[in-house]
Amino acid sequence: MIGIAPSSPPVIVLENLVKFFGRFAAIRGISASFAGGRLYVILGDNGAGKSTLLRIVAGLMEPSQGSFTLLGAKTVHEVAHRVGYMGHAPLLYDELSGMENLRYFAGLYGLHDDVVGRHAMQMVGLDPELTRRVGQYSQGMRQRLSLARAVLHNPELMLLDEPFSNVDVRSARDMAAILGRVRDQGKTIFVVTHQAALMEGVADELVHMAEGQIVSRAEVVRDAAANAALRTAR
Partner 1 sequence: MSTLGVTGASLVKDLRMEWRSKDAINSMLFFSLLVVVIFSFAFNPTAEESRRIAGGLIWVAFLFAAVVALNQTWARELRNQVLDAYRVSPAPPNALFLAKTVGNFLFVVVLEILMAPLFVVFYELRSVGPVWQLLVVALLGTWALVVNGTFFAGLSIRTRNREIMLPLLLFPITIPALLAMVDATTSVLTGEASPDFWIKLLAVYDIVFTALCLLLFESVLNAE
Partner 2 sequence: MKKLTLISVPITVALLAYTSYLALIVAPTEQTMGDVQRIFYYHVPSGWVAGLCFFINFVASALYLWKRSPASDALAAASAEVGVVFCAVLLITGPLWARPVWGIWWTWDARLTTTLVLWLIYVSYLVLRRFAAGGQTQVLAAAFAIFGFADVPIVYMSIRWFRTQHPSPVMGGGENSGLAPAMLHVFLINLVAFTVLGILFVWLRYQLQMQEQALESAHAQLALKGVSR
CB 170, min distance to partner 1, A: 24
CB 28, min distance to partner 2, A: 5
Q: Which is nearer to partner 1, 157 or 202 (CB)?
A: 157
Q: Which is nearer to partner 1, 88 or 231 (CB)?
A: 88
- Of residues 28-67, those binding partner 1 (CB under 8 A): 58-62
**94 lines the binding site for partner 1 (CB under 8 A):** yes
- Of residues 121-180, those binding partner 1 (CB under 8 A): 133, 149
At 16 the three-state DSSP class reads: strand
Whole-number Å distance between alpha carbons of 122 and 101: 15
Q: Which is nearer to partner 2, 100 or 211 (CB)?
A: 211
Strands 205-210 and 213-219: antiparallel
What residue type is 166 in one-letter code? N
Q: Which is nearer to partner 1, 44 or 90 (CB)?
A: 90
- Part of the chain binding partner 1 (CB under 8 A), chosen from 65-73, 102-110, 165-173, 222-230: 102-110
Name the β-bridge partners of 28. 18
Residue ranges that bind partner 2, judged by CB under 8 A: 18, 20-25, 28-29, 62, 64, 211, 213
Whole-number Å distance between alpha carbons of 190 and 73: 18
Q: Which is nearer to partner 2, 22 or 110 (CB)?
A: 22
Q: What are the backbone dihedrals phi and psi of residue 141, each rounded to the nearest 5 degrees, phi first?
A: -65, -40
233 binds, among partner 2, partner 1, none (CB under 5 to 8 A by kind): none
111 binds, among partner 2, partner 1, none (CB under 5 to 8 A by kind): none
CA distances from 112 to 83, 135, 223 (A): 18, 24, 40
Strands 188-192 and 39-43: parallel
Closest of 215, 194, 185 to residue 39, by C-alpha: 185
Whole-number Å distance between alpha carbons of 56 and 229: 36
Contact residues for partner 1, defined by CB under 8 A: 58-62, 76-77, 80-81, 83, 85, 87-96, 100, 104-105, 107-110, 112, 133, 149
